[in-house]
Structure 1
Amino acid sequence: MERAGSSTSRPVMLAIAGDSAAGKTTLTKGLVDALGADRITSLCVDDYHCYDRQERKGLPFTALHPDCNYVQIMEQHLQLLATGQPVLKPVYDHDTGQLTRPELVEPTEFVIVEGLLPLHTRLAQACFDITVYLDPPEHIRREWKVKRDTTKRGYTPEQVLAELDKREPESEEFIRPQRSAADIVVRFGPIEARQDPPDTPLSAELTLRPTVRHPDLTGVFRESDRRAMHLKLKRDEDGRPVEGLHVHGYVPREESRLLEKAIWAELDTESELPSTLGHIGEDTRSEPLAITQLLLLYHMLDSVR
């Protein structure tokens, strides 16, 4: 099957999996804004919930459980999208907690699928060209979820924390195992060995597994200050050697910007470096997020060269 774009019909498929409030939507939005909605189709597999928020209150499991999701329909739709075919996707409204009218999704050159369970089954995993798992430290994810759900979804902090505790067994059983299926594991958090002030921007550590071909950053490291980013060999959770890419949040933006330009130049593209990368909301920018998004764009664009 040929790829979407010129004489092709199969899109590049990217999965972004992770627990609730791990940063999946923020990461995805930056990628879509960078290339444009005319080139990237994005969807959230949380739309495949079987029950609305009110109905789930009487169930013995939460939205994280596969039995609370139409997993087989999700698999069918992923297969169709991966072969360039449209799907009529269900819609779950996170703001109201209700299931609403389904929508037609037509794949473009790239398809980004984010959510709780995009890598839950082997069949789903096989639909993707690139797979990512977001793995922030648990205390940071809990802070993010409390902030999001109290400001955007009308919950109290006590309600959010109680729901997190209720979900924990299912996070352990169904969400975190997807980490082992990812080509790239991204962890936004502080650098443990440094005693940075509390307001220091979070850094990012990317575990780069040899399941896909990663960009050769040798030339980039020669041109940039290694304070902004460094690469080292480490052991994965199963003991196998992998590369660990560390992007430092404490580095001034000027240095990170030079690094971003060097990475973008490696793609040998005529377009300008996207200015939309790294944005968290309207007023905050994260350089490690920008570089993470840039590396994912590298993977996506390199797949169609």
Structure 2
Amino acid sequence: MPMLAIAGDSATGKTTLSHGLAKALGPEKITWMCTDDYHKYDRQERKDLPFTPLHPDCNYLEIMEQHLQLLTLGQPILKPIYNHDTGTLDRPVLVHPAQYVIVDGLFPLWSKLSRACFDVTVFLDPPEHIRRQWKVYRDVTKRGYTEEQVLRDLDKREPESEAYIRPQRKHADIVIRFAPVEGAADSKALSATILLRPTIPHPDLSDVLSNDSKGALHMKLIRDDDGKPVDAIHVHGHANREASREVEEAIWSKLGIDAPVPDCLGEIEGGKRSEPLAIAQLILLYHLLLVS
């Protein structure tokens, strides 16, 4: 039973990435859970606390670790529920692990014990100023906050994000950064840089991706934040479907599956398609199917 972790700060795109994977694999084959459900306090209670949900003391991380271990053993868990719409703690639900388990949230890579439960680990790492824009848009349009409230909350959370969330990046097998195309007028056309660390075997794409940085899709050996070499795939926000399809077919063919590449990958709001998102999702899908 393959388990995938997708970690990252609030509003980094975790749900969007996970949704495409769940749809491609089939909802009946997926157990999809969020570590935000392990918050200790509801929104009202947190107003009087000296820390935010990004602090370990604001979460039942030991229970999260126990539940992750049970899932790896194929055992059900009684999972808590944090309601992001109302800010309340709802009744827990009984969760049985399905064929694939996807866990996203703030803390899936927090401890050595939790990391050991996963076959593949991912960290989403957009530029911080872009993430702030995404969070303002989401929380104002979907969660009923004012822009001033969101910005104030972001400033309050920043020290804990730096101390507890962003350090999880170094533990991920794959780091994905979605960011606007530099210098482009359309800020919604996001490019993706996908770092493939040598902690797990990745598909060999050298036959379809060159190291020519002028290409819409290319792969280069770069230095990671820790100075170690890492393969970096770049997918330009305006990459055309034909170029993307060639890479998708190369990845898919290595699995030996007698079925077409799922056409639901890359779906974004408004019924549009993002080629960078599709490639990122397919690489994660490759790893889940390879393990199974």
Give the length in aligned residue pairs: 290
User: Which secondary structure does the structure 2 equivalent of 1:176 belong to?
Assistant: helix
In 2 relative to 1, CA 200–107 (structure 1 residues): closer, same or farther, beyond 3 Å? closer
- In structure 2, the residue matched to 1:211 is 199
**Aligned: 1:39 with 2:29:** yes
Matches within 5 A, 1:59-78: 59-78=49-68
**Aligned: 1:248 with 2:236:** yes
Rounded to whole Å, the distance in 2 between the matches of 1:265 and 1:106 is 31
Quote the offset at 1:239 in angstroms: 0.9
User: Which secondary structure does the structure 2 equivalent of 1:120 belong to?
Assistant: coil
**Aligned: 1:170 with 2:170:** no
AA partner of residue 267 (structure 1):
L
Unaligned 5+ runs, structure 1 = 1-10
Matches within 5 A, 1:1-305: 11-192=1-182, 195-199=183-187, 201-221=189-209, 227-304=215-292
Q: Which moved further from structure 2: 247-256 or 78-87?
A: 247-256
Q: Deviations over 1:132-183 (max 9, x none)?
A: 0000001111111111101110001111111000000000000000000100
Verify the 8 A CA contact 1:220 1:263 in the aligned structure 2.
no
Verify the 8 A CA contact 1:13 1:129 in the aligned structure 2.
yes
Quote the offset at 1:22 in angstroms: 0.3
Rounded to whole Å, the distance in 1 between the matches of 2:121 and 2:247 is 24
- In structure 2, the residue matched to 1:4 is none
Q: Deviations over 1:264-288 (max 9, x none)?
A: 2232201221111111234332110
- TM-score, structure 2 as length reference: 0.95
Rounded to whole Å, the distance in 2 between the matches of 1:200 and 1:72 is 39
Verify the 8 A CA contact 2:217 2:243 in the aligned structure 1.
no
Q: Cα RMSD over matched residues?
A: 1.6
Rounded to whole Å, the distance in 2 between the matches of 1:231 and 1:243 is 7
Quote the offset at 1:220 in angstroms: 3.2
Q: Deviations over 1:109-129 (max 9, x none)?
A: 211100001111111111111
Quote the offset at 1:104 in angstroms: 1.1
Verify the 8 A CA contact 2:181 2:189 in the aligned structure 1.
no
Q: Deviations over 1:213-270 (max 9, x none)?
A: 1111133338xxx833211111111111111111111222333233323322232201
Rounded to whole Å, the distance in 2 between the matches of 1:281 and 1:102 is 30
% of aligned pairs identical?
63
Q: Deviations over 1:85-119 (max 9, x none)?
A: 11010000000000001011111121110000111
